[in-house]
A and B are shown apart, each in its own frame.
Chain A
């Protein structure tokens, strides 16, 4: 009970502090990057992760950056009975950044979405339902972003991914990406507001 009250108090403080006026959505960010899974746990007895690729669409909002992302990563089986699969992660994202030095910012973020497992068909899959599994997943990420130009940035981030399968899956990633920023055209700005 004490814990709950504590959480509620923190939440209220955070919510209260976010009570500021809305600024206009103006900048759009599109990122492309590569990622690598670097941790080892039970999951890695069965599968070995390859290099993954991903892309994100983000737009500025008074609360931070909001948007969506998609990534794909190959997982090859290490034991015969398991199945290799492509892990496709599609998610909503939230990012907030804090300026460190002139062109460098610290990024903190949270993703929530679906992690899809697309299994290789070795000829033993009997129905399409057996080919795909989906599960809810969240990510917490942090990293650095460096603007080397008015509209281009490079991002180096690390993320913790929790996939809510019955036997939970926890993956850590290292991401390196390029971000292109531009002003939203009027119609897109209207749409996002």
Chain B
């Protein structure tokens, strides 16, 4: 099967094919999408991204289902801002809820979800590039306050025989953004304060020994985003400080939590992170550009001040620098870049630090062989302390006419880790090949259809098969045994269909369907990837009947998921399950604007049908939740 796919791919490339760097796996969310679903925190975008296979144990942190699946091929989430890497995350995991940017200051979000090369950055998992808006002229202010309540509290029955534990109250989340905009210089300052609950019975059931301080996670983040035009070109700077544990505002303490997949439990910790990302584009002439990017991040993670678990203490310093040269003409372009990353990861419990130097070289070329046939080739070489590897993308785009477009791309190479030090990655290189076929039909501005087939082959994978059970008396999840499976290989195939239609001037709707399954490979591979839902259906309606009123309704269906390592986890109370049954999630959001849009009031209901929604065998369940968001957006209030 693998051979057949490769032959097909090569034949296609040789015979005609076309080239294009933006293949079908690119998703672009616009600011209007964010406005319709009314975000309370940035990770809410996942609710409208059925293309991504994610899990969450608490609704606050999300990880890729492939993230730590294979020991030597971690495929995590990386976050970029304005095309510049941020190295945002703690211990491989980037919690998008904690990325310190106000959703209203985002122009668009670019998401790639197959192993890829994007602007010279390699990603084996999910890549999220946050493109910020140019702020309004002069001084502006945005103040946002959001809170939510999950249903299922005991209410007055708490003093009767029907007593039950209280369930989650989300927030309050407070966001304040102040910006200054002018023709050549823009500056945006943001402050975010978040409270996230840790009261879900599924989590409390296994971490009774930890003291959950106030049953909440406290998070504060500050960021500064500046852009300037100079005689040389464009300059962007993003600097941020984030903190969890002791709140910046108020006195309440709330340790952050990280879910360790290998242990199947949470560790409470607190952390401080500094991020600095600078992107500079120097225009040499009309066709030539030089880009100089610098990214520095420092994360200090410590055990929660009420916990005695010392294993989590670490300092992580990441430095990433990149210089790129790019030539682009109408039908031809090329570029080269060289980057150097340095990491010093110091786990305090072992008194030894792990230092890594990661030089990499990237090149691309794009050209046309026919007027409507475009080709793009990306290539990256990356070396690590003790290994090196290659990854390349050959992408082709054939524009048949204004309405029809066909693209095919081949991606092949090593599956590197996305960001720095990995607790999982061993010395054995894993390999991946992806063949991506996409067809786009644009009937008019109001209707478009996307369809495609993707084949993803992975080989030389190492898998640690665990056998988790719940130890009732000890109140913890135990791993009975670990079997190591080496050189695992397999191919997954998916096809999808996406239809967008603007039914009326003020009403648009989208339908997305995806089928994904393992096609061939080792038996263990097929069992492992059974955690990925085979069928996904997503339907959304965005409706704005009046200029001051808008709303959205989204329906997400996901089919059965079987988790191999949790095959013996089922508990009598039904909190832990080995199979996540198919589920239907319906979310509703309504926003009313006041005072010509300066004030907005939003009400959101997640899980309208109050179905049992669970995204991980030992994760929390999400009942009907009501959110309320108030926003004051004062544009250009002070003129200089």
Residues of A within 8 A of B (CB): 4, 8, 11-12, 15-16, 18-20, 22, 46-47, 61-63, 66, 75, 79, 81-83, 85, 92, 112, 114-115, 117, 119, 130, 133-136, 163-167, 169, 190-193
Please state if B156 and A82 are interface contacts (CB–CB under 8 Å): yes
Query: B151-170 vs A: 1/0 string, CB under 8 Å?
Result: 11111111111101011010
Docked complex Cα distance between A124 and B156 (Å): 15
B6 within 8 A of A: no
* Cβ of B397 to closest chain A Cβ, rounded Å: 33
Other-chain contact of B594, A12, A115, A119, A192 (Cβ < 8 Å):
A192
B546 within 8 A of A: yes
What total count of A-B pairs have CB within 8 Å? 117
One of B244-252, B344-352, B382-390, B548-556 at the interface: B548-556
Please state if A11 and B553 are interface contacts (CB–CB under 8 Å): yes
* Cβ of A183 to closest chain B Cβ, rounded Å: 18
Q: A134-B149, A190-B595 are in contact. Are A164 and B160 (CB under 8 A)?
A: no
Docked complex Cα distance between A193 and B594 (Å): 5
User: Nearest 10 pairs between A and B by C-beta?
Assistant: A164-B151, A165-B155, A136-B626, A22-B546, A83-B159, A166-B164, A166-B152, A191-B595, A167-B162, A117-B156
Please state if A114 and B154 are interface contacts (CB–CB under 8 Å): no
| B152 closest partner in A (C-beta) | A166
Docked complex Cα distance between A85 and B626 (Å): 23
Please state if B159 and A190 are interface contacts (CB–CB under 8 Å): no
Docked complex Cα distance between A106 and B228 (Å): 60
Query: Could you say which residues of chain B place their CB within 8 Å of the CB of A20?
Result: 545
Q: A82-B159, A135-B153, A167-B157 are in contact. Are A18 and B545 (CB under 8 A)?
A: yes
Q: A112-B605, A136-B624 are in contact. Are A22 and B503 (CB under 8 A)?
A: no
B window 539-570: CB within 8 A of A: 539, 541, 543, 545-549, 553, 555
Counting chain B CB atoms within 10 Å of each CB, which of A19, A47, A61, A190 scores highest? A19
**Category for how many chain B residues contact A:** 35 or more
Please state if B507 and A81 are interface contacts (CB–CB under 8 Å): no
30 cross-chain CB contacts under 8 A? A8-B555, A12-B503, A15-B541, A16-B503, A19-B506, A20-B545, A22-B547, A22-B548, A47-B156, A62-B546, A75-B156, A82-B160, A83-B156, A92-B603, A112-B626, A117-B156, A133-B154, A133-B156, A133-B166, A135-B153, A135-B155, A136-B624, A164-B152, A165-B151, A165-B157, A166-B152, A167-B155, A190-B596, A191-B594, A193-B594
* Cβ of B92 to closest chain A Cβ, rounded Å: 36
Query: Could you say which residues of chain A place their CB within 8 Å of the CB of B154?
Result: 133, 165-167
* Cβ of A139 to closest chain B Cβ, rounded Å: 14
Query: Could you say which residues of chain B place their CB within 8 Å of the CB of A165?
Result: 151-157
B592 within 8 A of A: yes
Please state if A81 and B595 are interface contacts (CB–CB under 8 Å): no
Docked complex Cα distance between A191 and B549 (Å): 14
Q: A75-B156, A133-B154 are in contact. Are A112 and B603 (CB under 8 A)?
A: yes
Query: Could you say which residues of chain B place their CB within 8 Å of the CB of A166?
Result: 152-155, 157, 162, 164, 167
Q: A8-B539, A15-B507, A16-B503 are in contact. Are A193 and B548 (CB under 8 A)?
A: yes
Docked complex Cα distance between A83 and B162 (Å): 13
Query: Could you say which residues of chain B place their CB within 8 Å of the CB of A163?
Result: 155
Docked complex Cα distance between A83 and B158 (Å): 9
